[in-house]
Amino acid sequence: MAPDSKARWRKEIDWLLSVTDHIVEFVPSMQHTNSVTMEIMVTRRQSDVSSNVPALKKLESVE
């Protein structure tokens, strides 16, 4: 692949995968403040996205 095409391809893939940073789920977590413990909901990346995106990035980096 030509260097300019390769650079454009990587830029487009990074742009497309950036959306996955915002695919989240709410999970319970404990918060300790001033000797008060509360259960709150926090966000984390969905488990299917967390496992598949790194594999896709690894495949993409193979030349």
Interatomic CA distance for residues 3 and 9, integer angstroms: 10
pTM over 0.85: no
Domain ranges, ordered by start, for the chain: 3-61
Average pLDDT score, the chain: 85
| CB contact burial 8-33 (16+ within 10 A = b; e otherwise) | eeeeeeeeeeeeeeeeeeeeeeeeee
Q: Is pLDDT above 80 for 4?
A: yes
Specify the pLDDT at position 63. Answer: 60
Residue 3: pLDDT band (50, 70, 90) is confident
Residue among 26, 19, 20 nearest 41 (CA) = 26
Instruction: Calculate ∠ Cα 11-12-17, nearest 5°.
Output: 100
Interval 16-44: pLDDT, tens: 888 888 888 999 999 999 999 999 999 98
Interatomic CA distance for residues 42 and 15, integer angstroms: 26
